[in-house]
Amino acid sequence: MIEVNPIEHFQFDGTPKAKVLIIYTGGTLGMDFNDSGSLVPCGFNQILERVPVLKELHVNISVISFKEPIDSSNVHIEHWQLLASLIYEHYENFDGFLILHGTDTMAYSASALSFMLEGVNKPIIFTGAQLPIASPRSDATENLVTSLEIAADKKNGKPIITEVCIFFNHVLLRGNRAKKVESQHFDAFESENYPILAEAGITIDYHWSYLKPYAKDFIRLNMEMDNNIVVLKLFPGLNQATAAGILLADTVKGVIIESYGSGNVPNEQWFLDILKESVRKGKIILNVSQCNGGRVMHGKYETSSELDKIGVISGHDLTSEAATAKMMYAMAQFPNLRDAKKCLRTPIRGEMN
């Protein structure tokens, strides 16, 4: 069981423009040096000491921290469920939510929460850093301060952002459209298939035509996720035994194929026969592209022309991260195979066109 520390309240302003709940999971942002000079996870009080400007934003902050901060490489479904349940539990008490999270799996977590939390009309912003907050050249301060501003921003008394997003290196991205693409530079995330929602320069410039409009709240928590899935990335030289072992495994209920280009797969008969057998056995196969941008278009080339006939679902312009979270969600929420497939074909959280 994942444990969290008691909620801490930081009342910086008697008449705040917003109240924001920060959930600290771990990751590079919240690292500081201990007495021996080693980097270790620190508490929010230490973060506040490093970023005293947080007190000047006219935002009152409450903080819930994981008792044992985690490296995001260790994130599992239970962590998503905890994050979603914490937001659901405190939803009425705050104007926005900020999740401090490691970058490696941030796009997966943002995608998962977008499906698990239905009817959201408040900002849920993920952010982190490429360098620890204790580093002199850290990007943590800018990411944290601007994320908090966005989580608190309103227009005519209503939140400007009404969905799950990632803010990183001056840009705000839809969470289930984002992908981590860089490990050595500050521009770690991109969203090739959906425009940037906002850019932070001297001011925060919102790209209004791409924002999800405010609507009446009907927040609903969908906790269950089915992780009996696998991702098969195609590569030249994939052999028949390996493909069959993955696609026909008894424990696998869903397969995400990362195909070439616009959805192309080998058109060798043995591979098509394995796909047919997998579909016949009641498995869901979802086709997404290995490319960061573009979309799957079954039939554009001969090598993908048979996929619709076989029953492979086109993932259109889904990222692999969003496809993974959505398949887990669809299979858990819709035990009926036809309904699960319909869910995967249909945009439900702005995750695909």
Q: How many CA atoms lie within 13 A of 345 on its CB side?
A: 11
Inter-axis angle of helices 337-345 and 320-333, to 10 degrees?
A: 150
**From residue 187, how far is each of 176, 180, 203 by CA, in Å?**
17, 9, 19
Contact assessment for residue 6 and residue 24, using Cβ atoms and an 8 Å cutoff: no
- The pLDDT value recorded for residue 39 is 66
- The pLDDT value recorded for residue 51 is 87
Contact assessment for residue 211 and residue 236, using Cβ atoms and an 8 Å cutoff: no
Give all domains of the chain, ordered by start, each with its CATH number: 8-221 (3.40.50.1170), 229-345 (3.40.50.40)
List of residues 6+ apart from 103 with CB closer than 8 A: 27, 28, 72, 128, 129, 130, 168, 180, 188, 189
Please give, one letter per residue, the 3-state secondary structure of the chain: CCCECCCEEECCCCCCCEEEEEEEEECCCCEEECCCCCEEECCHHHHHHHCHHHHHCCEEEEEEEEEEEECHHHCCHHHHHHHHHHHHHHHHHCCEEEEECCCCCHHHHHHHHHHHEECCCCCEEEECCCCCCCCCCCCHHHHHHHHHHHHHCEECCEECCCCEEEEECCEEEEHHHCEECCCCCCCCEECCCCCCCEEECCCEEECHHHCCCCCCCCCEECCCCCCCEEEEECCCCCCHHHHHHHHCCCCCCEEEEEEECCCECCCCHHHHHHHHHHHHCCCEEEEEECCCCCCCCCCCCHHHCCHHHHCCEECCCCCHHHHHHHHHHHHHHCCCHHHHHHHHHCCCCCCCC
- The pLDDT value recorded for residue 331 is 97
Residue-by-residue pLDDT tens, the chain, 353 positions: 899 999 999 998 889 999 999 999 988 787 777 777 776 666 677 778 888 888 899 999 999 999 988 888 899 999 999 999 999 999 999 999 999 999 999 999 999 999 999 999 999 999 999 888 777 788 889 999 999 999 999 999 999 999 999 999 999 999 999 999 988 888 889 999 999 999 999 999 999 999 998 887 689 999 999 999 999 999 999 999 999 999 999 999 999 999 999 999 999 999 999 999 999 999 999 999 999 888 898 877 776 788 999 999 999 999 999 999 999 999 999 989 999 999 999 999 999 98
Query: What are 312's two structure tokens?
Result: 């492979």
Cα distance between residue 144 and residue 167, in whole Å: 9
Cα distance between residue 173 and residue 190, in whole Å: 8
Give the residue from 55, 64, 57, 52 showing the smallest Cα distance to 21.
64
Q: Which residue has the tokens 């360098």?
A: 131
Q: What positions carry a catalytic annotation?
A: 28
Cα distance between residue 197 and residue 227, in whole Å: 30
User: Strands 117-118, 31-33: parallel, antiparallel or unpaired by DSSP?
Assistant: unpaired
* Distance in Å from the first CA to the final CA of the chain: 37
